[in-house]
């Protein structure tokens, strides 16, 4: 039943950026056994009928890591460095590499924690160092799609365990005992027969001489043996952050560096006809100004004017004085108002059937109740607090970049085409990133910095101001859903139809959706509905779209979870009970497939949230409680929101209760920070955020017309974790999607008013 709609191999890019999907497919093809590694051990044994132990679930640590010589690191032969992640020196210092970009998701802390756990060292003895960009040694280095946790879980545990195994072997040899008689314990190896101990520092030189065992051959710790993972461990950069040390891209400085701005056509895609360059060059502090033609490839270099000055302020002043006559022939002329009208008109009529199951027409004909609802949500900006920036220096035939990028490994290939330089000539230093949310998966700002640097012989720092950041984002795509639900005489949900719009990039094949713009029946996440139909009208779109925290799910979670509440009301049923009914029996729709919906986990987090969120308890008049579930990025989240609505439209979100299942929580500090942040972000977006455009240009400019939630509006947030034996999965995204519907359902409970347009300010509500 429902096999096709919920066949997850077919719907990769609901949740994940397409680039990642390509890689994922390649990994699956190369038998990376990622799914197997994801299955809890006992289940895997049950599923495969294999009894007894000896089964190694871990997928292979990459070949390159294995190839890392045990003697490498620091150029010191006594340093023990069995792979790219670990260095132990005879003086006892332990360095663990942090491989991926830190955007605030806490990865610079929790990936090294995984290594430290298996290495069996006290966290206080570890120094974390941001690694260089090197696919050979570090595998995929990116920050997106909440992928880093599942992807690195096994390789990093193995990296730690390999080193621990070698240290134990070195000790065993010293003592001439069998390794099984020795045990690693917090930086020491203990001889269990004699009670003797040797520190890792004392063993490092000998361990470095041993052959590196195969990663698949080493024994990983049981979760019950963990001493570090799951604890509250503060971020490794915290001390530097609170004292204002240079860490971020924007903090980069080089001798003789010039400050650059790059001005593009306000209407997306416009080219430069003419600019007052001579006048600009005569301004104080301005050193140079020139036009770049660009390649106009989506996500790379658009045409524009570069201005180089001796200070950021002078560059910004010059930008204000710049006058460009734009060639708008290639530019977007789109209008959000017109788009809304067009979409409404389109979705009022039947459209091409994208997915279908059962007999939706029959369900409508035989329904005792038919419910209609038209849901819309706007485009959104990422609005990282650190505006886009990048420092670049083209020197000695090398392009050196200090790039706050979420996908640094994509840069060299891109630049080699764009600037005709050798891929190997591109050197990238990872810097801390002041907020990602998917914005910096796209390296347009890196292309700009590199292209400018190529023209001059000094280092340059490209600096966007807030206005250019808001005007040239890759936006979360807006959407339109004309929904119809059918209920039979027993109050059961028999059918759901979504007449929607799928945007496709203008000039593309007209089929492939814009980034984050795919809409699939599986997004409804109600596998028990017998009749389902998705009709998708396709519309071309030139406004650039990108992946925005929980792509797809960030908006669809609200639409469907709100509509389910509408249907529950129409059926005269309790929302919680109605929602649980849609999950059906506890089961994994595609056993072993991490991306596949597991209704057992959905049911459990939903029941937990309901219990902790006092579902069904009385509330005062003017108050309401709403519930919403969503499964995205491998994480299961149900959230209950409690609101008080005063004066008919002033919404105070009093409490948000979150129940989560991500297998296990790796770092309580960073993990809960992600959940709290997702709740706040969810409130920010639903309260009043909207990107609109006229004549192809974005109208919002700064935080006055694109507001972020401020401190007085923060709710009380309570988080409850289900610990399950599934592999741990990421937390950058999955707490976000359920929040909006929990709140709008609560507003409905409090006021009787159903919100079908985002942000809720459009429906006359204000979050206070």
Residues that bind another protein (CB under 8 A): 102-106, 232-235, 237-239, 241-248, 250-251, 253, 259, 284-285, 311-314, 316, 383-387, 432-437, 465-466, 669-670, 673-674, 676-681, 684, 702-704, 708-712, 714, 717
Closer residue to another protein (CB): 249 or 696: 249
- Provide the token pair at 649: 């439209």
Interacting residue with ligand FES among 365, 385, 423, 646 (CB under 6 A): 385
Cα–Cα distance, 439 to 434 (Å, whole number): 11
In the stretch 547-576, what mask flags binding to ligand FES with x, by CB under 6 A? ------------------------------
Closer residue to ligand FES (CB): 106 or 613: 106
Backbone torsions φ then ψ of 170, nearest 5 degrees: -60, -40
Q: Where are the alpha helices (DSSP H) in 194-254?
A: 200-207, 238-242
- With CB under 6 A as the rule, give the number of residues binding ligand FES: 3
68 near 84, Cβ under 8 Å? yes
Closest distance to ligand FES from the beta carbon of 103 (Å): 9
Coil, strand or helix at 436: coil
Owner of token pair 């008109």: 345
Cα–Cα distance, 180 to 73 (Å, whole number): 28
Identify what 83 binds: another protein, ligand FES, none; CB under 5 to 8 Å per kind: none
- CA distances in angstroms from 33 to 27, 60, 150, 666, listed in the order given: 8, 8, 12, 22
Closer residue to another protein (CB): 423 or 702: 702
Closer residue to ligand FES (CB): 239 or 341: 239
CB atoms within 10 A of CB 315: 27
Closer residue to another protein (CB): 48 or 238: 238
Closest distance to another protein from the beta carbon of 479 (Å): 23
Closest distance to another protein from the beta carbon of 414 (Å): 24
Identify what 179 binds: another protein, ligand FES, none; CB under 5 to 8 Å per kind: none
Closest distance to ligand FES from the beta carbon of 404 (Å): 13
Q: Is the dihedral of CA 156, 161, 164, 170 positive or negative?
A: negative
Closest distance to another protein from the beta carbon of 433 (Å): 6
Closer residue to another protein (CB): 652 or 754: 652
Cα–Cα distance, 746 to 701 (Å, whole number): 32
Assess 701 for contact with ligand FES (CB under 6 A).
Answer: no
Closest distance to another protein from the beta carbon of 182 (Å): 35
Closest distance to another protein from the beta carbon of 4 (Å): 38
Count Cβ atoms within 10 A of the Cβ of residue 255 and give its class: 0-12 exposed, 13-18 middle, 19 or more buried: exposed
Closer residue to another protein (CB): 248 or 578: 248
Identify what 148 binds: another protein, ligand FES, none; CB under 5 to 8 Å per kind: none
Q: Please choose, from the candidates 732, 541, 526, the residue with its C-alpha nearest in 3D space to the C-alpha of residue 634.
A: 732
Closer residue to another protein (CB): 235 or 517: 235
Count Cβ atoms within 10 A of the Cβ of residue 375 and give its class: 0-12 exposed, 13-18 middle, 19 or more buried: buried
Q: Which helix (H) or strand (E) holds 299?
A: none
Closest distance to another protein from the beta carbon of 701 (Å): 9
- CA distances in angstroms from 768 to 623, 708, 714, 765, listed in the order given: 14, 12, 9, 10
- Provide the token pair at 426: 């591109």
Dmax over CA atoms of the chain, in Å, equals: 83
85 near 66, Cβ under 8 Å? no
In the stretch 426-465, what mask flags binding to ligand FES with x, by CB under 6 A? ---------x------------------------------
Cα–Cα distance, 470 to 648 (Å, whole number): 32
Closer residue to ligand FES (CB): 235 or 517: 235
Closer residue to ligand FES (CB): 237 or 356: 237
Count Cβ atoms within 10 A of the Cβ of residue 359 and give its class: 0-12 exposed, 13-18 middle, 19 or more buried: middle
CB atoms within 10 A of CB 660: 25
Closer residue to another protein (CB): 232 or 586: 232
Closest distance to another protein from the beta carbon of 241 (Å): 4
Cα–Cα distance, 14 to 21 (Å, whole number): 10
Identify what 335 binds: another protein, ligand FES, none; CB under 5 to 8 Å per kind: none
In the stretch 331-370, what mask flags binding to ligand FES with x, by CB under 6 A? ----------------------------------------
Closest distance to another protein from the beta carbon of 258 (Å): 11
Cα–Cα distance, 53 to 767 (Å, whole number): 55
Interacting residue with ligand FES among 73, 82, 104, 436 (CB under 6 A): 104
Identify what 237 binds: ligand FES, another protein, none; CB under 5 to 8 Å per kind: another protein
Strand 697-698 and strand 693-694: the pairing is antiparallel
Closest distance to another protein from the beta carbon of 238 (Å): 5
Identify what 607 binds: another protein, ligand FES, none; CB under 5 to 8 Å per kind: none
Closest distance to ligand FES from the beta carbon of 385 (Å): 4
Closer residue to ligand FES (CB): 435 or 591: 435
- CA distances in angstroms from 393 to 5, 61, 411, 419, 439, listed in the order given: 50, 35, 15, 13, 23
Closest distance to another protein from the beta carbon of 65 (Å): 28
Identify what 405 binds: ligand FES, another protein, none; CB under 5 to 8 Å per kind: none
Q: Please choose, from the candidates 434, 455, 440, the residue with its C-alpha nearest in 3D space to the C-alpha of residue 392.
A: 455
Closer residue to another protein (CB): 243 or 617: 243
Cis previous bond, 281, omega within 30: no
Strand 766-767 and strand 650-661: the pairing is parallel
Q: By beta-carbon distance, which residue lies closest to ligand FES?
A: 385
Helices (runs of H) and strands (runs of E) counted in the chain: 21, 28
Burial 99-134 (b: 16+ CB within 10 A, else e): bbbbbbbbbbbbbbbbbbbbbbbebeebebebbbbe
Closest distance to another protein from the beta carbon of 527 (Å): 32
Closer residue to another protein (CB): 108 or 454: 108
Closest distance to another protein from the beta carbon of 228 (Å): 15
Q: Please choose, from the candidates 399, 490, 499, 386, the residue with its C-alpha nearest in 3D space to the C-alpha of residue 439.
A: 386
Identify what 350 binds: another protein, ligand FES, none; CB under 5 to 8 Å per kind: none
Cα–Cα distance, 537 to 342 (Å, whole number): 11
Identify what 717 binds: ligand FES, another protein, none; CB under 5 to 8 Å per kind: another protein
Closer residue to another protein (CB): 367 or 433: 433
Owner of token pair 């929980």: 550
- Which residues contact ligand FES (rule: CB under 6 A)? 104, 385, 435
């Amino acid at each position: 039943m429902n096999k096709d709609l919920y066949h997850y191999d077919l719907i990769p890019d609901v949740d994940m950026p397409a680039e990642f999907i390509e890689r994922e497919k390649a990994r699956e093809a190369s038998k990376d056994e990622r799914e197997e590694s994801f299955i809890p051990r006992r289940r895997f044994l049950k599923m495969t009928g294999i009894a007894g132990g000896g089964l190694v679930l871990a997928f292979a640590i990459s070949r390159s890591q294995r190839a890392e010589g045990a003697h490498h690191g620091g150029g010191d032969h006594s340093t023990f460095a069995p792979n790219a992640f670990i260095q132990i020196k005879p003086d006892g210092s332990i360095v663990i590499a942090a491989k991926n970009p830190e955007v605030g998701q806490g990865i610079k802390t929790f990936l090294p924690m995984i290594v430290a756990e298996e290495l069996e060292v006290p966290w206080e003895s570890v120094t974390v160092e941001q690694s260089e960009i090197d696919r050979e040694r570090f595998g995929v280095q990116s920050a997106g799609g909440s992928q880093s946790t599942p992807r690195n879980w096994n390789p990093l545990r193995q990296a730690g365990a390999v080193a621990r195994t070698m240290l134990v072997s070195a000790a065993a040899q010293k003592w001439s005992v069998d390794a099984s008689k020795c045990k690693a314990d917090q930086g020491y190896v203990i001889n269990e027969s004699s009670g003797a101990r040797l520190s890792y520092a004392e063993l490092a030189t000998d361990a470095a001489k041993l052959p590196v065992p195969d990663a698949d051959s080493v024994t990983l710790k049981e979760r019950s043996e963990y001493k570090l993972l799951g604890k509250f461990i503060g971020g490794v950069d915290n001390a530097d952050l609170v004292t204002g040390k240079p860490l971020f891209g924007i903090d980069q400085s080089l001798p003789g560096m010039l400050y650059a701005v790059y001005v593009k056509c306000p209407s997306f895609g416009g080219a430069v006809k003419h600019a007052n360059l001579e006048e600009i060059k005569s301004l104080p502090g301005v050193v140079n100004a020139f036009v770049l033609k660009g390649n106009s490839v989506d996500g790379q270099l658009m045409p524009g004017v570069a201005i180089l000055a001796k200070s950021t302020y002078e560059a910004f002043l010059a930008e204000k004085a710049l006058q460009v006559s734009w060639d708008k022939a290639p530019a977007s002329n789109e209008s959000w108002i017109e788009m809304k009208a067009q979409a409404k008109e389109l979705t009022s009529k039947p459209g091409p059937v994208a997915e279908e199951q059962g007999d939706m027409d029959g369900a409508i004909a035989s329904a005792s109740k038919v419910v209609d609802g038209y849901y819309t949500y706007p485009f959104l900006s990422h609005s990282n607090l650190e505006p886009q920036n990048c420092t670049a220096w083209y020197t000695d035939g090398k392009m050196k970049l200090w790039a706050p990028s979420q996908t640094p490994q994509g840069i060299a290939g891109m630049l080699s085409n764009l600037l005709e330089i050798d891929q190997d000539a591109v050197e990238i230093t990872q810097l801390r990133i002041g907020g990602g949310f998917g914005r910096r998966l796209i390296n347009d700002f890196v292309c700009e910095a590199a292209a400018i640097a190529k023209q001059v012989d000094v280092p340059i720092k490209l600096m966007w101001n807030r206005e250019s950041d808001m005007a040239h984002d890759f936006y979360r795509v807006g959407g339109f859903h004309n929904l119809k639900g059918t209920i039979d005489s027993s109050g059961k949900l028999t059918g759901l139809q979504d007449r929607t719009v799928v945007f496709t990039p203008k000039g593309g094949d007209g089929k492939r959706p814009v980034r984050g713009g795919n809409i699939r029946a599986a997004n409804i996440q109600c596998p028990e509905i017998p009749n389902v139909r998705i009709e998708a009208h396709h519309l071309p779109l030139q406004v650039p779209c990108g992946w925005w925290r929980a792509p797809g799910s960030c908006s669809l979670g609200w639409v469907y979870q709100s509509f389910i509440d509408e249907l529950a009301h129409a059926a005269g049923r309790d929302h919680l009970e109605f929602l649980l009914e849609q999950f059906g029996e506890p089961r994994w729709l595609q056993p072993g497939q991490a991306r596949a919906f597991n209704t057992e986990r959905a049911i459990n987090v939903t029941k937990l949230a309901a219990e902790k969120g006092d579902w069904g308890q009385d509330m005062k008049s003017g108050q309401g409680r709403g519930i919403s579930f969503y499964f995205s990025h491998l994480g299961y989240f149900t959230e209950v929101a409690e609101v008080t609505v005063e004066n008919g439209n002033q919404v105070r979100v009093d409490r948000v209760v979150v129940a989560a299942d991500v297998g296990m929580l790796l770092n309580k500090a960073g993990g809960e920070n992600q959940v709290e942040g997702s709740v706040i972000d969810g409130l920010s977006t639903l309260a009043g955020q909207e990107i609109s455009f006229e004549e192809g240009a974005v109208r919002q400019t700064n935080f006055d017309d694109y507001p972020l939630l401020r401190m007085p509006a923060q709710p009380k947030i309570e988080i409850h974790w289900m610990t399950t034996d599934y592999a741990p999965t990421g937390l950058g995204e999955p707490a976000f999607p359920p929040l909006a519907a929990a709140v709008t359902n609560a507003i409905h409970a409090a006021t009787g008013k159903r919100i079908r347009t985002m942000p809720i300010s459009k429906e006359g509500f204000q979050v206070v």
